[in-house]
Amino acid sequence: MTSSIQVQSEGIKKIDAPSASGANIVLSLGYLLFFIGTWHFLTFWSKAQSFNVVDPLMGVPFRYIMPAFGIGELAVSCLCLFTKKWRLALLLTLWMTLNTAVFRFALGAAGWFHPWVIVGDLTSLLNISSLTSDIIVAAVNVFLCGGALFVLFKNRRAGEDIKLNCPTCGGKTSFGNQWVGRVIKCPHCGNNLHLVRPS
């Protein structure tokens, strides 16, 4: 993921990208969501009987619910991997993990204490217990949620944007506090631009 540049009024180009480590986390979340989304999408064709179980909340077999989750996860993974809309991607990731948690708690409240039926194939494939698969699913969701929160918090918009004129071409660039001290390619002329607070 490269820096996200928006052109504002008066030809100011705004830099809005996460830090390098944040960008790596966004990519990891994207790959993970791609894997989970593909997995959920393919459950539609799974032969595992557990997917024919009817979800007590929606009254529809899990076979039809999981692919819908999968399509959402694949869409967000594309946002993470191929676009610069990282804030949107992270907010959607948070929203999805929250939904998963609510869904799971609602199932529990409805007296449904089965293991995650969605990993039915995983348990037989890896020969692991349903408790282990529950723990894996919980850990994946904590990672998704924690990663998204971490990057959003670390790259939160703090105060006013700083505006700087490129010493080479004079083009105006604006950036947030977290970018101070970094060197980027000037979005106007492509020369190195040291992002400092104008004195």
Which chain residues interact with Zn ion by CB under 5 A?
166, 168-169, 171, 186, 188-189
C-beta of 99 vs 191, nearer to Zn ion: 191
- For residues 80 and 152, give the distance between their C-alpha atoms in angstroms, rounded to a whole number: 13
Nearer to Zn ion, 137 or 164 (CB): 164
User: 162-165 and 183-185 as β-strands: parallel, antiparallel, unpaired?
Assistant: unpaired
Nearer to Zn ion, 56 or 167 (CB): 167
Residue (142 or 169) nearer to Zn ion, CB: 169
In the complex with Zn ion, the residue whose CB is nearer, 52 or 192, is 192
Q: How far is the CB of 86 from Zn ion (least distance, A)?
A: 24
Return d(Cα 100, Cα 105) in angstroms, integer.
9
- Phi, psi dihedral angles at 78 (to 5 degrees): -65, -40
CB of 185 to Zn ion, least distance (A): 9
Q: Which pairing describes strands 183-185 and 192-194: parallel, antiparallel, or unpaired?
A: antiparallel
The owner of tokens 């969701």 is 141
Nearer to Zn ion, 40 or 188 (CB): 188
Distance from C-alpha of 59 to C-alpha of 110, rounded to nearest angstrom? 13
The least distance separating Zn ion from the CB of residue 198, rounded to whole angstroms, comes to 15
Least distance between Zn ion and beta carbon 170 (Å)? 7
Nearest distance in Å: CB 2, Zn ion: 17
Degrees, nearest 5: CA angle 58-63-64? 55
Let me know: does 22 contact 179? Beta carbons within 8 Å: no
Query: Angle at the Cα of 119 (from 118 to 121), degrees rounded to 5?
Result: 110
Element (H, E) at 135: helix 130-154
Closest approach, Cβ 192 to Zn ion, in A, equals 9
